[in-house]
Structure 1
Amino acid sequence: MLAVKVPKREAEKIRRKLIELGVLAKGYSPKREGNFVLFPVEMPVEGFELVEAEFEKTERRPHSYREVVEVPDEIKPLLPSSFDIIGDIAIIELPEELMDYGKAIGEAILKVHRHIKAVFAKGSKVSGEYRIRELIHLAGEKRTETLHRENGIRLKLDIARVYYTPRLATERMRVFERTQPGEIVFDMFAGVGPYSILLAKKAKLVFACDINPWAVRYLEENKKLNKTPNVIPILGDVRKVAGQIKADRVIMNLPKFADRFLKEAMMSVKSGGIVHYYGFGPEEDLFSEHEQKIKAVARELGFKVELLDERRVRPYAPRQFNIAIDFRVWK
């Protein structure tokens, strides 16, 4: 077939150019000949040396586990289109009708995504004081500890013992970009440290509190792993810590119950400091209820609040969204 012959040192640049022109033949591997590389093309390309050559066909890898999973055709429409990946572990939410095919689904995920080593299904919703869920092993290694990378940091954690979601990585980076060098930060519900470790790259000190001893254990490890000695892990109820810390910035990542801790957050932030509040809201009125609670607590304490930003962070349930409100507190 027709090919473009280019010097090896220019191969990558030319490959991108051929893709831009829409002439690179798909489904074939480039070929090396001495100090040259041959790219298969679908038509003559002006300005390049053209030759005839034979190329090996490349095997097309499936892009989704749904392409290879072996389940009855009538239930294929029920297969989830996405799942969470934490480190090298996949966590998928399966409807009851698919649970009998969990092993086949897990093995299909492993087949398509070679970097994934274990697959679990969500066995329950996040619940309890430690915000953890039951997990059902589907395929791969029977372990729940992993090392996750996001936003340039590494987080060691056990998905069965601590709460963690990769779906807030963009939101965490947004807060990082707004954090100023030298700030003191109070992460009220720190978990294994996805906010704390990241913000410590800028902040002077980060006080990271959590009631789950496993979360604090991993937080200690992640502090060493990321070389952030300015993170101060605190094991205990945040109510007993509030007011002892005076922070420039407070993180309230406990969306189901954050409204119950607004008093503690406002007591812990300096006058003029910022609180990042997270909650859940219905699609038809995302923010009103939370705004009212924030203002009511401020009035009770004799403080003033200034709403700075409101965002829909991610879908949480049908017609329900995880929301964020940034507000400044004046005392």
Structure 2
Amino acid sequence: MLAVKVPKKEAERVRRQLLELGVLAEGYAVKREGEFILFPVTKPVEGFELVEAEFERLERRPHSYREVVEVPKELRPLLPSSFDIVGDIAIIELPGELMPHGRAIGEAILKVHRNIKAVFAKGSKVEGEYRVRELVHLAGENRTETIHRENGIRLKLDVAKVYYTPRLSTERMRVFEKTQAGEVVFDMFSGVGPYSILLAKKAKLVFACDINPWAVRYLEENIRLNRANNVVPILGDVRKVAGKIKADRVIMNLPRFADRFLREAMMSVKPGGVIHYYGFGPEEDPFSEHGAKIKAAARELGLSVEFLDSRKVRPYAPRQVNIAIDFRVL
């Protein structure tokens, strides 16, 4: 078979170049010969040393659990195309028709994704004061505690006892990039600390409040795990904390009920400070209602607001989106 022969130190650069040219032969293991690497190619490539070599075929691994799972043919269109991965735990949302086949689905996920050790199905919606859901064990280890890595931090948590979604990782990094060195931050609904621990890398001080004692327990562990000693954990109702803190930046990641806490947020931000507000809204016009509530809350306190950014963060439900509104309080 035709191959490109390059020194080891140039191997990664050449591999990327061959991929860009579309000539790297798929399904074969690269070959090592002394201080050289041989890449199988589909046709001659100018500018490289070409040789003939034999290559070992690679066994193709499935890319999706749907390729290997065994369920009745008529149910296959119902198989979800994605699921959440928190640490080494997978959480999948299955329609009722597929729940009797949950074990087979869980085993297929474990087979395809070697880094996953436990699979659960969502047994209920996120609900209650602590924003948790019932989980149904499908396959693998029957445990719900894990360590999740995102944005250069580690988060220890129990997916059955606290609210956490990996789908906001990009949004959390967006807020981090807007945060200025030396700021005081108030994370009103901190959970286990995905915003707080990350922002602590820049902020002078982060006050992190949550009403769920399990969330605060894991937050305290995550402070130690990440050496984020400038994070102050607060267990309790944020309404009892509001006004006692004056922050440069306030995080309101409670999208279902954040509008009920706008007064508390504005009481806790310094003049000119920024609030990151989250909510849910209809796909066609998700911002208007929330914007009106923000203005009304400011008027009640004799304040004004300057809207900085409004964006759709992610789809949430049919024709519903999770939105973010950044505004300055004046």
TM-score by length of 1: 0.97
- Structure 2: how far apart are the matches of 1:174 and 1:13? 31
SS at match of 1:254: coil
Say if 2:296 is the partner of 1:296: yes
Instruction: State the aligned residue count.
Output: 330
Aligned to 1:79: 79
Aligned to 1:109: 109
Aligned to 2:18: 18
Aligned to 2:159: 159
- Structure 2: how far apart are the matches of 1:248 and 1:6? 54
Give the superposition deviation at 1:15.
Answer: 2.2
TM-score by length of 2: 0.97
Could you list the per-position Cα deviations for residues 232-252 of structure 1 after superposition, in whole angstroms to 9, with x for gaps in the alignment? Answer: 000000011011111111111
Q: Structure 2: where are the runs of 5+ without partners? A: none
2-11 or 209-218, larger mean C-alpha shift: 2-11
- Structure 2: how far apart are the matches of 1:301 and 1:135? 42
- Structure 1: how far apart are the matches of 2:128 and 2:207? 23
- Amino acid across the alignment from 1:227: R
306-315 or 43-52, larger mean C-alpha shift: 43-52
Residues 243-262 of structure 1: pairs in structure 2 closer than 5 A: 243-262=243-262
Give the superposition deviation at 1:51.
Answer: 2.4
- Structure 2: how far apart are the matches of 1:242 and 1:23? 61
Could you list the per-position Cα deviations for residues 63-98 of structure 1 after superposition, in whole angstroms to 9, with x for gaps in the alignment? Answer: 111111111121111110110010110100001111
- Amino acid across the alignment from 1:142: N
| Cα RMSD after superposing both structures | 1.1
The share of aligned pairs that are identical, in percent, is: 82
Give the superposition deviation at 1:320.
Answer: 0.3
Could you list the per-position Cα deviations for residues 181-207 of structure 1 after superposition, in whole angstroms to 9, with x for gaps in the alignment? Answer: 111111100000001111111111100
Aligned to 1:49: 49
Could you list the per-position Cα deviations for residues 138-196 of structure 1 after superposition, in whole angstroms to 9, with x for gaps in the alignment? Answer: 01111100000111111000000000001111111111111111111111000000011
Aligned to 1:134: 134
- Structure 2: how far apart are the matches of 1:20 and 1:264? 53
Aligned to 1:212: 212
Say if 2:225 is the partner of 1:225: yes
Give the superposition deviation at 1:10.
Answer: 2.6
- Amino acid across the alignment from 2:66: R
Say if 2:276 is the partner of 1:276: yes
- Structure 2: how far apart are the matches of 1:11 and 1:262? 55
Q: Structure 1: where are the runs of 5+ without partners? A: none
Give the superposition deviation at 1:110.
Answer: 0.7
Aligned to 1:99: 99
Residues 309, 47 of structure 1: CA spacing in aligned structure 2 closer, same or farther, 3 A cutoff?
A: closer
Say if 2:325 is the partner of 1:325: yes
Could you list the per-position Cα deviations for residues 287-319 of structure 1 after superposition, in whole angstroms to 9, with x for gaps in the alignment? Answer: 111111111111111111121111111111000
- Structure 2: how far apart are the matches of 1:147 and 1:138? 20
